Amino acid sequence: MAQPTTTTSQPKPVIRVEPNPRRPNLYFISTDAAWNSSTGNAGFGWIVDDLASTSQHAASMTFVSPPLMAETLAVLKAMTFALSSGLEHISILSDSQILIKTINKREMKTEIFGAISDLYFLSNAFKSVSFHFISRSENVRADELAKQALWALDQP
């Protein structure tokens, strides 16, 4: 205690927030759904993005309920497309926080039971697949595609 204490402040490490390095064979797929409660119609949009290019895709379906089912079907459509395109490593991005939590916890929800079961089964066909929540502001392009697909279906 007789010794004077010297305080040497160590510099704090710099923490950089950067995206994870992307593997050349990893595809990021942003998905979204638009749903019309009065008709039960749904539009789906997904954007496939790799290091070299981006492609946009859309589909629609009738008799979809509830909205969580529409979001689940959007992911399922995107995964089916990825599988048929020969993509082996995918990362699915969605702005449906409930759906992403459900998938990552491997839960079964009654209202989406059949579609979520198909999604879990289809996941096994990929060498790697991950599911991530993104904000609506980061998912604008997929949202626009889904709305366009729904609009086209709702036209007489």
In the chain, the domains with their CATH numbers are 26-151 (3.30.420.10)
Angle at 86 between CA 22 and CA 130, to 5 degrees: 45
How does DSSP classify residue 7? -
Q: Tell me, what's the pLDDT at 2?
A: 56
Residue 153 has pLDDT above 70, yes or no: yes
How does DSSP classify residue 51? S
The CA R_g of the chain, rounded to the nearest whole Å, is 21
Q: Tell me, what's the pLDDT at 50?
A: 85
Measured between its terminal Cα atoms, the distance across the chain in Å is: 87
pLDDT in tens, 43-94: 999 999 987 889 999 999 999 989 999 999 999 999 999 999 999 999 999 9
What is the sign of the dihedral through the CA atoms of 125, 126, 129 and 134? negative
Q: Tell me, what's the pLDDT at 39?
A: 93
Alpha-carbon distance of 33 to 43, in angstroms, equals: 6
Q: Tell me, what's the pLDDT at 141?
A: 96
pLDDT in tens, 109-146: 999 999 999 999 999 999 999 999 999 999 999 999 99
What is the sign of the dihedral through the CA atoms of 82, 41, 96 and 108? negative
- Give the predicted TM-score (pTM) of the model: 0.83
Return the closest-CA partner of residue 106 out of 131, 73, 76: 131
